[in-house]
Amino acid sequence: MENKYYLAVEIKPNNYFPINLGELSIAKDVVNYDILSLDNFTLKFREEEIRKAIIDDNLLDIDDKMPLVVIYYEKNDVRKTDVLTKDKLYDLKGFIKDNFNDKNFRNKIYNFLNNKVDGELDGLKNPVNEEEYMRVINSLPYMVRRKLYFYLYEK
């Protein structure tokens, strides 16, 4: 079963208010609850623009202390992850290409993915070239690539 992902406001730690995109004026025709569709929507806006739309549409009175997050269910728990917006650089491919020659960087990617992916990762452990390396990365499920993005950018 595929997870459903929701744009939400974290009112207090571990207390979330999901935003009904059907009621958000800037969302227009966004009705899918998959992570890729949600990211494609949020990447069109700055976080401030999304916050303003939430307030203007009378969905919730929020302040800057309440972060926008994406929530989803995993292993019977509500999980959260960051929202991707215009404010955040999201260029995993470029970031990997810029650091491809750093063996420690590649090892970090391999070790992270080794715990998250079932399948062949030989192309990441001993890459033949940058193109083959990126082919393996691009073949990963979107959510795994997204988690890798946040893992690499947090370091």
> Would you state the structure tokens that stand for residue 56, as one six-digit string?
């203007």
d(CA 97, CA 137): 11
- Residue pLDDT tens, the chain, 155 long: 357 899 999 999 999 999 988 899 998 777 678 899 999 999 999 999 999 999 999 999 998 899 999 999 888 889 999 999 998 777 888 889 999 999 999 999 998 998 777 777 777 888 888 998 999 899 898 988 998 998 988 75
Residue 55: left if φ>0, alpha if ψ -120 to 50, beta else—which one?
A: alpha
Is residue 34 a contact partner of residue 70, using CB atoms and an 8 Å limit? no
The three-state DSSP-derived secondary structure of the chain is CCCCEEEEEEEECCEEEECCHHHCHHHCCCCCCCHHHHHHHHCCCCHHHHHHHHHHCCCCCCCCCCCEEEEEEECCEEEEEECCCCCCCCCHHHHHHHHCCCHHHHHHHHHHHHCCCCCCCHHHHCCCCHHHHHHHHHCCCHHHHHHHHHHHHHC
> Would you state the structure tokens that stand for residue 118, as one six-digit string?
């079932």
pTM given for the model: 0.80
d(CA 79, CA 5): 10
d(CA 60, CA 105): 41
